[in-house]
Amino acid sequence: MERSAEIVGGGFAGLAAACALARRGWRVRLHERADRLRTAGAGINVYENGLRVLEALGASDETLRGGARHLARETRDQHDRLLSTHPWNVRVYGVLRQRMIDALAAAARRAGAEIITGSEGAGATPEGELTLANGERLRAELIVAADGVNSRIRDALGLVAKRRALPDGCIRILIPKVDAAEASDGRTIEYWSGNRRFLYNPCSETHLYLALTMLHADAAARAVPVDKALWSRSFPQLAPLIARIGDIARYDRFEYIRLKRWSAGRVAVIGDAAHAIPPNIGQGAGCAMMNALALGVYLDRSADIPAALAAWEAAERPLTDHTQRISLLFGMPAFWPPKLRELFYFLAARSRWLTAQRTRTARHVPTGT
Ligand SMILES: Cc1cc2nc3c(=O)[nH]c(=O)nc-3n(C[C@H](O)[C@H](O)[C@H](O)COP(=O)(O)OP(=O)(O)OC[C@H]3O[C@@H](n4cnc5c(N)ncnc54)[C@H](O)[C@@H]3O)c2cc1C
């Protein structure tokens, strides 16, 4: 018998869930409140775990079209001195966010999912009733809340155990490459200057993705459009690159969210709605997509939806919890004096234990792949 799911939110989490469920024979309808599927945030890094999920969902080739393979991550100080090099022993790609959203949406539609834009979820009950903002009520065997960090569906169910606005945030920007050869040596570089960070990250054949991270209290540094004179003073070696930054940029403060449970009755909560993660190891979307695919797998194993959701959380949550902890750890040097930060990166590059912790999520073989 065909089972039905209503999904709220058309980001990476919701679209991955739509693919995973539709490919398993569910009748899937996804509601996105915006008038089209789009993503803010320029580029994104996808690691081995996320790539495996994209392959399992049929969205990998399109996502990686023109993407930039990363071979190593360097950390440098404001004098351009190398603090550490982390060679990747797993696949890592920088890609355009919009390309990944479009690829997942196309894969979901191919699998039979219906995607409705301009449709806003307002609340859901554990019994499986979704209320839309226009007052319409829809019943389904499964409701998936994938409505991001400010999830209304999650909040109405009282699932939040902890929510913290973190003391740092980031401006994300795309700039056109000068030519195809620019930034094609497989390096991403994170530069530090005081509390400020500058990530130089190729993400396509045509664009570079820059992520400028600062304390939220550093109002001058988080201003948009970017204050190029200020950032050039912090990173003089990057002044010619900073001069190329245009006016289109986006600032987001980092958040951390933990839920009491990832589900309530027939409602599953996924993605940032369930586990917003600061992006210090770049795994928020990776975890969102892994958990979305695993949701489909666990629901296949049992007709009892609340029991399947409990089994899904028990199996998948420990890795997401670990990812949150490690990501918080790698954000801490922002609050340390430069000498301590240098020591941390010196040790981080040499410690096999720390490297193993940092790459555990990337090396994980996701359920369903
Ligand atoms: C600076 C920065 C850099 C990052 N870099 C990386 C990285 O390199 N790699 C990585 O894996 N992750 C990264 N992340 C994390 C990643 O961006 C998020 O984890 C991911 O986007 C979460 O996807 P989502 O689908 O859960 O939420 P969202 O992307 O927020 O999508 C939610 C969707 O739901 C819609 N919506 C909201 N409310 C409603 C409603 N009531 N009804 C209907 N629709 C609704 C929204 O319009 C949106 O389309 C980064 C995050 C930041 C801030």
- pLDDT per residue over 280-308, tens digit each? 999 999 999 999 999 999 999 999 999 99
pLDDT tier, 346 (very low <50, low <70, confident <90, very high otherwise): confident
What is the 340 CA–ligand 1 centroid distance (Å)? 32
What's the whole-number mean pLDDT along residues 207-213?
96
Cα distance between residue 199 and residue 195, in whole Å: 13
Long-range contacts of 219-222 (CB under 8 A, 24+ apart): 221/196, 222/169, 222/171, 222/251
Average pLDDT score over residue span 204-232: 97
Instruction: Give the pair of three-digit tokens for residue 265.
Output: 């009755």
Distance 164 CA to ligand 1 centre (A): 17
pLDDT band, residue 17 (cuts 50/70/90): very high
Q: Which residues are 207's β-sheet partners? A: 176
Closest ligand 1 atom to the C-alpha of 254?
A: 53
What tokens appear for 273 in the block?
Answer: 């709605």
Name the band, by pLDDT with cuts 50, 70 and 90, for residue 314: very high
Distance 27 CA to ligand 1 centre (A): 24
Give kind and range of the element (H or E) at residue 131. Answer: strand 129-132
Which residues approach ligand 1 with their CB closer than 6 A?
Answer: 8-14, 31-34, 41, 44-45, 120-121, 146-148, 152, 170, 172, 211, 252, 271-273, 279, 282-286, 288
CA nearest 68: which of 189, 150, 213?
189
Please report the pLDDT score of residue 125 as a whole number.
Answer: 98
**Measured in angstroms, how far is the CA atom of residue 192 from the centroid of ligand 1?**
26
Which pLDDT does position 1 carry in this prediction? 60
Q: Indicate the domain borders of the chain.
A: 4-67+93-164+255-334
Which strands form 267-269's sheet, in the order they lie side by side?
114-117, 27-32, 4-8, 142-145, 267-269, 263-264
Ligand 1: nearest atom to the Cα of 252: 53
Report residue 35's pLDDT band, with 50, 70 and 90 as the boundaries.
very high
Kindly report, residue by residue over 335-344, the tens digit of the pLDDT.
888 889 888 8
What is the per-residue pLDDT across 85-119, written as a single tens digit (0 to 9) for each?
A: 999 999 999 999 999 999 999 999 999 999 999 99
Q: To 5 degrees, how large is the angle CA 175–CA 281–CA 170?
A: 45
On whether the CB atoms of residues 256 and 163 are closer than 8 A, the answer is: yes
pLDDT score of 176 more than 80: yes
Nearest atom within ligand 1 for CA of residue 44: 8
Q: Which tens digit of pLDDT belongs to each residue from 115-144?
A: 999 999 999 999 999 999 999 999 999 999
**Mean pLDDT, residues 146-173:** 97
Architecture of domain 4-67+93-164+255-334 in this structure: 3-Layer(bba) Sandwich (3.50)
Q: What is the DSSP letter of 225?
A: S
8 A C-beta contact, residue 28 and residue 108: yes
Q: What is the mean pLDDT of the chain?
A: 95
Does the pLDDT at position 325 exceed 70? Answer: yes
pLDDT of residue 180: 82
Q: Helix or strand or coil: residue 356?
A: helix
Residue keyed to tokens 């960070």: 197
